[in-house]
Amino acid sequence: MFEDETVDIECPKCGHRNSMLVRGFEESAETHFVCVNCKTGVKVEANEFRHRLDQMREELEALERDAAREAKPKPKRPPKDDFQI
């Protein structure tokens, strides 16, 4: 599932964000791509990138946790005014 995700990698020369398949980084130590904007060849070290992948995974998991929590109905709490002394 995660392998089909794409990431945006900023071109070091022009700052254009290029979409890359995450799968490419999983399979090789380094990945080359050509910036679609300025045609500069960019080398991405996978080791360096894996830290970002790990961070993305954690963020994704956190998001999924939040989504799961929000999907459940909240426990209904009686309004304060209902309490009598």
Residues at the site binding Zn ion, with contacts judged by CB under 5 A: 11, 13-14, 16, 35, 37-38, 40
Nearer Cβ to Zn ion, position 19 or 55? 19
Smallest gap from residue 41 Cβ to Zn ion (A): 10
Nearer Cβ to Zn ion, position 36 or 60? 36
Smallest gap from residue 39 Cβ to Zn ion (A): 7
For the chain, give the DSSP string: -GGG-EEEEE-TTT-PEEEEEHHHHHH-SEEEEE-TTT--EEEEEHHHHHHHHHHHHHHHHHHHHHHHHHHSPPPP---GGG---
Smallest gap from residue 51 Cβ to Zn ion (A): 23
